[in-house]
């Protein structure tokens, strides 16, 4: 299974911590903790968990920015966070611009229940699939031609499926474009703690602090989750961090449909507040991801296959354009079927990520 982004490389570190800290489980604490966590909880989430999550978000971003726990809205995973922002920021029939290639699940997460449209911002290999101002303008113009109102841009940084981080210049250009069009900017940063090679991760909170344009902060919303950096997708823990008071208030009211269990919050508050552990975990996890990435890339190179230079996440964006029959989308799907049924490897064809160049594949390591 090489088409499924799940980080299990550091489970042993989590298990070792749990062995040493049985107090993190309400079952070990007896009646007192059980009575504290079993009743209805504040929809804002447990204060101890929001505080520890804010500090962890700062840690994985290198301590360059600060996060206010009162601006964190908890959700049942990043999927719920992204959908909730769609409900808050757009009406049915309105749209968000999303640079390609993008996470295939966005077609489901952003659209199915909200009625919001996705307008792809087509990027290509000529500049390593970086989003450009001209591509943004082209997508925005396409939406206007269809009488679709654009309400914002959504980007993933680090990128799923590219495994790359955006340059500061690109982040500033996106923010300038959003400001010029008076639209919102959502940055999905769920892999922010999984950057294992230079260049270092540039985050929107850092760009905002250095921009000297405080009015732009109201249009920026960050999505985070513990599914990837900590490898806990089954815990269903996500968060929205917004600089917009109205969005925070509205999202918090709507979050009652996707709450995080109090037991989960209690456990994670204990773990994330152990800063000695979290620092060691992030360092070791990056080391292990870096090793896996090196093994994958070198193995591909040995058989003459190249991939996009990447430095984050769980992905290699692999170039199979030289292999027949990948000259068009139909050929790409035939090649994918060959890889799946004859080689027994499940990878993701680029067309599933709306890549306009046939022959690229996303491979998880």
* Active site amino acids: 103, 188, 190, 228
- Token reading at 139: 């997508």
Rounded Cα distance between 344 and 330, Å, is 20
Q: What is the CA radius of gyration of the chain?
A: 21
Report the candidate in 130, 66, 270, 281 with the shortest Cα–Cα distance to residue 194.
281
Report the candidate in 234, 243, 157, 221 with the shortest Cα–Cα distance to residue 193.
157
- Measured over the CA atoms of residue 286, residue 287, residue 289 and residue 290, the dihedral's sign is positive
Rounded Cα distance between 49 and 39, Å, is 17
Rounded Cα distance between 341 and 202, Å, is 40
Q: What angle do CA 146, 94, 329 make, to 5 degrees?
A: 60
Task: Give CA 328 to chain center in angstroms.
Answer: 29
Strands 95-99 and 117-121: parallel
What residue has token string 């430095």? 311
Report CA dihedral (122, 128, 133, 134) to the nearest 10 degrees: -60
């Amino acid at each position: 299974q090489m088409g499924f982004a799940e980080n299990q490389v550091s489970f042993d570190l989590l298990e070792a911590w749990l062995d040493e800290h049985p107090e993190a489980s309400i079952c070990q604490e007896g009646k007192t903790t059980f009575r504290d966590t079993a009743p209805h909880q504040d929809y804002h989430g447990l204060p101890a968990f929001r505080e520890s999550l804010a500090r962890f978000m700062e840690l994985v971003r290198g301590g360059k920015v600060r996060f206010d726990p009162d601006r964190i809205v908890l959700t049942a995973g990043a999927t719920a966070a992204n959908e909730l922002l769609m409900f808050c920021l757009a009406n049915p029939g309105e749209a968000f611009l999303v640079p390609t290639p993008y996470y295939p699940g966005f077609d489901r997460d952003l659209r199915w229940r909200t009625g919001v449209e996705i307008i792809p911002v087509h990027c290509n290999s000529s500049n390593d699939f970086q989003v450009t101002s001209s591509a943004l303008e082209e997508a925005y113009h396409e939406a206007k031609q269809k009488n679709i109102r654009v309400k914002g841009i959504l980007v993933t940084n680090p990128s799923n499926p590219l495994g790359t981080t955006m340059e500061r210049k690109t982040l500033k250009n996106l923010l300038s474009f959003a400001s010029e069009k008076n639209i919102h900017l959502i940055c999905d940063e769920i892999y922010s703690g999984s950057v294992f090679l230079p260049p270092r991760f540039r985050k929107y909170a850092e760009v905002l602090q250095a921009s000297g344009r405080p009015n732009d902060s109201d249009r920026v919303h960050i999505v985070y989750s513990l599914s990837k950096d900590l490898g806990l997708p089954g815990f269903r823990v996500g968060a929205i961090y917004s600089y917009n008071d109205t969005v925070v208030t509205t999202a918090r009211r709507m979050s009652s449909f996707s709450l995080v269990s109090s037991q989960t919050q209690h456990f994670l508050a204990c773990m994330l507040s152990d800063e000695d552990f979290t620092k060691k975990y992030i360092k070791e996890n990056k080391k292990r991801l870096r090793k896996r990435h090196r093994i994958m890339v070198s193995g591909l190179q040995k058989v003459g296959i190249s991939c996009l230079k990447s430095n984050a996440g769980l992905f290699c964006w692999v170039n199979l354009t030289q292999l027949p029959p990948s000259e068009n989308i139909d050929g790409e799907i035939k090649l994918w079927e060959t890889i799946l049924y004859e080689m027994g490897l499940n990878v993701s064809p680029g067309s599933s990520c709306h890549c306009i160049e046939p022959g690229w594949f996303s491979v998880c390591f």
